[in-house]
Structure 1
């Protein structure tokens, strides 16, 4: 049975995301079944279709908007991850310089990664030896001077910089990348909250950009009117706004702990 609003929503998803009609239709169907229509039985849905119920039309329309927003936000987050990861070095060079400050488990983790980072096995072995035994023992073992060791490290640093993104993808786990991406989103909110030019209208714009994520995050706490907070922040009660701020800052601290714990 053809439903005009469903066809329209599918086409809009196709155009917005540049995907096939099949993919767009599947995304829309999944959103409807698992979210907007999840509390309705199949019989109730069929009845609304047969009666050409206007409410169903709007449910389909808003589901289409949900899909576009969520997919575009996912792409945006992926871009943010790539940009954020460019700021992170592998840590190999810096940690090698300060070998004595490394915790044993960190040293072991880096040594295990060296063969993946440096394709030349002799280079990987040299780095591993330096990390295990320090510069003095390395100089003695490889018959190198202090200057030769430093030149070697400089060369390795240049190599790391040339292939930074590939190396970061090796060093950081999938979970660590997800944490970095989520922190990046949350910091947009804290930067706005701490801005001297802050307005509730700006906060609403930011919530709209990250609506699905914030909706899930705020779903973990009790609020008097969470819908109002999400859709009209300026009209939300102050207690809900206070809870909102606490959740944002609390989540950042939680992610920081997870990153440290590894």
Structure 2
């Protein structure tokens, strides 16, 4: 219904079940329900699916004005200066190359072509738009030098955690919780299979855990190059 592939849909449904409909169940309760094919488990699965659809529609409704605004920003021959000005702001606002390309595509080509170029469903486009708007609002009044300084501080904290041999998955989860907006932007990358799972449950994020480490290292290298270019 939400136009996700089966792997993503299964993951989202499982997370919704664990976080809400089965939150009060013990492992034994779940095992017994699966073994006996109990109706109580079936209806929880059914309504967890309904919850996901309802939440998706609610989020889409909340962001519809933003989506219409950005999606309607087709290049207009009568007003090219505004598009050019917006395009100039993108590199300073977004450090993630994929996000920069995505925003640039909206400004140049609009929503439909951007969805085709980035192989996005309507839901994926809406979710991306929510994240981009949230990040842009929180950073639009931040000057580039201070923004870089903030990122450097976060990355320095990350380096310290990674250098400590006693660091646990719980320590990394605490770091993610403290800097969720930053991590959200870093993992906005096609390499990460399940972004929401990585944010919520680092310990059980599988290979996405190691992709996060690589993306953080890449982010630090990009920031170092930017510093050199500005000197």
TM over 0.5: no
Larger radius of gyration, structure 1 or 2? 1
Q: Shorter-normalised TM-score: what interval?
A: 0.3 to 0.5
